[in-house]
Amino acid sequence: MGLYQQFIEQLKGSLKDKTLVKLSLGNYKGQEEGLKNLYVKLVEIKREIKLSFVYRYQTRDITKNYSLRDGFDVLVESVHYKGFRSVTLRTLHESLEMQMNKKGEWMGKVVKAEQATEIQLSHDKKKERKIADTQQSYLQDLRLTDEKGQVFKNAQDKWKQINHYIEILSTPLSALPADKPLQIVDMGAGKGYLTFALYDYLTHKLQRDVQVHGVEFRKDLVDLCNQIAERAHFDKLRFEEGTIEDYVPQEKIDVLIALHACDTATDDAIYQGIQQEAELIVVAPCCHKQVRRELEQHKAPNQLQFMTQYGIFLERHAEMLTDSIRALILNYYGYETKVMQFISDQHTPKNVMIVASKKVVNQGQQELILSQLQELKRYFGLGYQHLERLCGLENA
């Protein structure tokens, strides 16, 4: 039996008797851009054994779960046609490694497993939450937890969102220079859920010296948040009444945050961050009316017209265009940008987050970005984008 056939038999057997430990596919030479690896393992979801596929791309992971039968078919196709040229299959009994050579033949070996490995089926592993101490007064004051530190049932989504937010930021935050206190501004802080959580994480978990300012134009929220901060003894957290566009920082901003600030308020916030050369700029845009209006008024006759005739697609298109332009402008100023899903789209469609970390400005890159911007605007019939205008790049 050839090696490939051995692989198929071993895979089939390991699914039948649930002895699959892990299957890793690599050395991808197929058509899908950015795809690097595929990792597959058994998981138990709602008492059913399934196959969990993690597609690892250059900048993200995508997870899909399949029934054993469908998963087997997808796997065979992935190995046979999809362009993975390296396969490692580990079962409780054997390991099989094979690579495709230049002639398209599979070469490799089968090794007996030396030690029995335990198969970890648990899918819904208890997550380590970033906000570990749930008995803090701010969590009670924000009606997230009761006096015993139990998260209220109706606050579970918010709780997940807060922890996920801190999880996303934990890596870029820990990369910030540790030799001085950090100045952080959260623009459009609202009721302050995320502002409090960030302060808590930075001061208690990372033990950083920080000054956090929340900026908010609703006085009632500012007063409430200041009271909660005082009760929690969060001495270096304060909230100010004011608008994002008129905010004048007292000190140089290291981290600028604006989550769900309406329409062009996100641009005003990014602009402040760029001007301040903030190390980290984090925004979760809200609505995208400015670009949508532009598109409605001046829509250029392009190949996407068949799509943007539908209101909902025009809306999504305006979102993607706006946030791509924001990311591009951040790149122009030397920021490395990541765009990711912030909250599950089951809860809100406003779930994109842009995380931009300051690196160096590359002049060659800047010229390219300016011409990309002009080309984008011409193609879509966009007169201007607010951040572009603020930065003076409109006619650059």
Which residues form the interface with ligand SAM (CB under 6 A)?
Answer: 188-190, 193-194, 215-218, 221, 243-245, 259-262, 265
Give, rounded to a whole angstrom, the gap between the first and last alpha carbons of the chain: 66
The three-point CA angle 281-283-285 to 5° equals 155
CB of 211 to ligand SAM, least distance (A): 18
Pairing of strands 106-112, 94-100: antiparallel
237-241: strand order across its sheet: 237-241, 210-216, 182-187, 255-259, 280-284, 352-358, 335-341
The three-point CA angle 360-365-369 to 5° equals 120
CB of 307 to ligand SAM, least distance (A): 29
Q: How many helices (H) and strands (E) does the chain have?
A: 12, 14
Question: Which residue is listed with tokens 């009760």?
Answer: 231
The nearer residue to ligand SAM, 217 or 384, going by C-beta atoms, is 217
The nearer residue to ligand SAM, 44 or 245, going by C-beta atoms, is 245
CB of 264 to ligand SAM, least distance (A): 9
**Whose CB is nearest to ligand SAM?**
190
The nearer residue to ligand SAM, 241 or 315, going by C-beta atoms, is 241
Rounded Cα distance between 366 and 332, Å, is 5
The nearer residue to ligand SAM, 94 or 240, going by C-beta atoms, is 240
Q: Which residues contact 250 (CB under 8 A, 6 or more apart)?
A: none
CB of 167 to ligand SAM, least distance (A): 16
Question: Which residue is listed with tokens 């332009």?
Answer: 325
The nearer residue to ligand SAM, 39 or 217, going by C-beta atoms, is 217
- How is residue 145 annotated by DSSP? B
Rounded Cα distance between 163 and 197, Å, is 8
Rounded Cα distance between 97 and 75, Å, is 15
The nearer residue to ligand SAM, 20 or 259, going by C-beta atoms, is 259
Instruction: Identify the helix (H) or strand (E) that includes residue 387.
Output: helix 386-390
> Which 3 state secondary structure label does DSSP give 304?
coil
CB of 319 to ligand SAM, least distance (A): 16
CB of 246 to ligand SAM, least distance (A): 8
For residues 23 and 89, is the Cβ–Cβ distance under 8 A?
Answer: yes
CB of 255 to ligand SAM, least distance (A): 14
The nearer residue to ligand SAM, 85 or 238, going by C-beta atoms, is 238
Q: Which one-letter amino acid corresponds to residue 25?
A: L
Pairing of strands 280-284, 352-358: antiparallel
CB of 197 to ligand SAM, least distance (A): 10
The nearer residue to ligand SAM, 20 or 189, going by C-beta atoms, is 189
